[in-house]
Structure 1
Amino acid sequence: MPLFEIETDSHIIITWAENDDAARELVADAFPTDTVARLTKRPRDTWVISKGALGLTNRTFDPCHIARDCLSRSAGDKVNAIRLYRMETGSDLEQARKVIESNMVMGW
């Protein structure tokens, strides 16, 4: 069974289907309000997502390492660590809070 990449106005769906019509039917069942913008039969039976295309190849930016450093510099003061993390990374308050709290739980 071929692997299809189906792009709608709201989703990118990767699925197996017997043919183009079956792939379109699958989208109509799962997302009835979506319109199919592109339907591509993949040449192989696997799907690869390029980390480079997603911007995940920058090895110098390790959010956990930065968060642990901020926690260390703030002597474990969460509010100060969040402020430091925001200054280091340019993250918004919510993202900085999540990263700092996640690293606090892991025992920075």
Structure 2
Amino acid sequence: MPLFEVETDAHIIITWAADEAAATAVLRDAYPTDRVIRMTKRPRDSWVISKGALGLKSATADICSTARDCLSKAAGDKVHAIRLYMQATGADLDVARKVIESNMVMGW
């Protein structure tokens, strides 16, 4: 069974599901008012990150895409990715660290 990463306006949910419809059903059961922003298949175990708990509230920027782009440019070097994220967004060190760490996946 594939693992899906479902990003909403308030959470990132990683859960096992048979298909996208089943992953959406998991989201609707847990967070019925959240709006799906992105859905991707992932090969890892289930977990959830609350964007609000991380201090990541931005309607103008795609935080996850920016973080993944910085990780890619830094070839997975977390410290360099944090610096790149700070340059790209103007975020402070603590916020940049949280964003980069929450977007790191096995293999970086």
Q: TM-score range by the shorter chain?
A: 0.3 to 0.5
Taking structure 1 as the reference length, what is the TM-score of the superposition?
Answer: 0.43
Q: Tell me which structure has the larger Cα radius of gyration.
A: 1
User: Which fold has the larger relative contact order, with Cα–Cα distance below 8 Å and residues 6 or more apart in sequence?
Assistant: 2
